[in-house]
């Protein structure tokens, strides 16, 4: 696989994270400028932002948690030359599920549906890690 094919899903995941970060920053700046929130209300990371700000912020923070395992795996798979077609397909499935998860989070935030999508993305990521580990430990691929 080409480096572009392997890294494109990672770049999309990073882009999603930045979109949510800048969205959060914009909402927070707007809330402080309007006086809806004072700097003292949030100086020590107290959760005193409006609910919508927290909703988008939490969607952003979710992109800083388990996707780290995806980033590490992508780099390891490329370095060890184990990033094949199956890896790229699974990477795209993982990223698509993360996008759906974020979409649910920033829209109706239906927790059971969001949880199911989160679980599906974690299963895909776990499968990716298991395949990678077996290939490395057994000298396959």
Q: What is the pLDDT of residues 3-17, one digit of tens each?
A: 999 999 999 999 999
110-130 pLDDT tens trace:
999 999 999 999 999 999 999
Assigned domain for 27 exists: no
Answer yes or no: pTM beyond 0.85: yes
124 with 94: CB under 8 angstroms?
yes
What average pLDDT does range 50-61 have in this prediction?
96
Exposure string of 2-11, with b = 16+ CB inside 10 Å and e = fewer, is eeeebbebbe
Q: Which helix (H) or strand (E) holds 114?
A: helix 111-137
Dihedral of the alpha carbons of 124, 126, 128, 129, in degrees to the nearest 10: 170
Assigned domain for 96 exists: yes
Assigned domain for 122 exists: yes
pLDDT at residue 42 is higher than 70: yes
Assigned domain for 41 exists: no
Assigned domain for 46 exists: no
- pLDDT reported for residue 141: 61
How far, in Å, CA of 136 to CA of 132, rounded? 6
Domain holding 90, by residue range, is 3-16+55-137
């Amino acid at each position: 696989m080409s480096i572009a094919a392997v890294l494109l899903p990672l770049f999309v995941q990073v882009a999603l994270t930045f979109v949510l970060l800048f969205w959060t920053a914009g909402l927070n700046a707007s809330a402080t400028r309007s006086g809806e929130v004072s700097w003292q209300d949030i100086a020590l990371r107290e959760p005193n932002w409006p609910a919508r700000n927290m909703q988008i912020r939490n969607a952003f923070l979710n992109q800083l948690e388990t996707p780290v395992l995806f980033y590490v795996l992508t780099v390891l798979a490329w370095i060890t030359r184990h990033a094949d077609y199956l890896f790229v397909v699974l990477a795209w499935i993982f990223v698509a599920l993360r996008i759906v998860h974020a979409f649910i989070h920033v829209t109706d935030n239906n927790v059971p549906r969001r949880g199911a999508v989160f679980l599906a993305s974690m299963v895909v990521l776990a499968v990716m890690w298991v395949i990678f580990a077996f290939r490395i430990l057994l000298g396959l691929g």
